[in-house]
Amino acid sequence: MELHNQSDISCSSAAENYLIEKMNEIKIFSPATVANVACGFDVLGFCLDSVGDDMVIRKTDKKGIHITRIEGFNLPYEAELNVAGVSALAMYDAIDVDFGFEIEIYKNIKPGSGIGSSAASAVGSVFGMNELLNRPFSKTQLTEFAIKGEALASKCEHADNLAPALFGGFTLVKSISPLRILEIPSPDDLYATIIHPQIEIKTSESRAILPKEVPLSEAIEQWANLGSLVHALHTSDYDLISNSLTDVIVEPHRGKLIPEFNAVKTAALKAGALGAGISGSGPSIFSLSKSSETAIKVKDAMESIYSKTGIAFEIHVSKINTNGVKIIN
């Protein structure tokens, strides 16, 4: 296989290479992710363990990218209209092979949920193809392809959900051009609780309500919080994590789009959460806790608020997933 624009090559053992060369089909788990994480708007994200999509990627004699099955939600089969297809096509354009790929998507993450539904699809197709091709591309290069798919959903190029889905753990996207992703350690006892009200808020819509300019005093507070959150994650300083999980710029605007946002946040903090905020562009609300016991208490507290609203919701408790997208067969 010939690669176009190949820059850095990932390594795998000879035995692994042999096995992968024999493989024509791969089943993968592509995880849900939480972007922004309060003070890290558009740059910070983390990966979830217990929520995600399954996908099957298969080599086929027919050249090109073909989406052959979608279950769970009604999404387009045309590769150019589906984020999984767009990211796959970006990667397909960069290689020279005499075969094509089929993609099956078993979607569990509701599109527009704010926990990286589109990112899971964008990442899953390129990760699976890369495995079947014997891993010619690095994770950063895969993110470049996936960005093209994600742009279809959110109308702009960003990687704050893609990076944690590919790398696992917490990630910070330092820049998009050139793409630079930093992996940030996750303290061992850190758990997330996510409530997902079953209403749709489109990323493109929730971007439109944001101010174009922010006062300097708010910017200072925000970057102080982001810097201290990154430091706290490196040093497993749970008190500092708690003290840093504040968003003074985006949350005051987007919080209004989510029914009972303030009540859920207050209840989560009262139940012992380190902090809480909007997951991605909403409507999901995330919180972080020290220990699974506290994360479960936070779940009960969030549930008690939402069960009074009449709005259907899902709720997840998850350890931070430090591996990201993975093969499951």
User: Which residues are part of the catalytic machinery?
Assistant: 150, 203
Cβ atoms of residues 36 and 247 within 8 Å: yes
Gap between the Cα atoms of 133 and 17, Å rounded? 9
Contacts for 101 with CB less than 8 Å, ≥ 6 apart: 57, 58, 59, 60, 64, 65, 66, 88, 92, 125, 129, 132
Peptide linkage before 283 cis (omega within 30 of 0): yes
Nearer to ligand ADP, 52 or 267 (CB): 52
Nearer to ligand ADP, 149 or 275 (CB): 149
Nearer to ligand ADP, 122 or 298 (CB): 122
Nearer to ligand ADP, 116 or 168 (CB): 116
Nearer to ligand ADP, 86 or 288 (CB): 86
For residue 281, the minimal CB distance to ligand ADP (Å) is 6
Cβ atoms of residues 193 and 304 within 8 Å: no
For residue 280, the minimal CB distance to ligand ADP (Å) is 5
Cβ atoms of residues 82 and 25 within 8 Å: no
Gap between the Cα atoms of 132 and 130, Å rounded? 5
For residue 53, the minimal CB distance to ligand ADP (Å) is 8
> 49: alpha, beta or left, given left = phi > 0 and alpha = psi -120 to 50?
alpha
| The residue type at 117 | S
For residue 23, the minimal CB distance to ligand ADP (Å) is 23
DSSP assignment of 2-67 = EESS--------HHHHHHHHH-SEEEEEEEEEEESTTT-TTTEEEEEEEEEEEEEEEEESS-EEEE
For residue 326, the minimal CB distance to ligand ADP (Å) is 19
Q: Which residues bind ligand ADP (CB under 6 A)?
A: 75, 82-84, 105, 111-114, 116-119, 121, 153-154, 202-203, 280
CB burial class (10 A; 0-12, 13-18, 19+) of residue 66?
middle
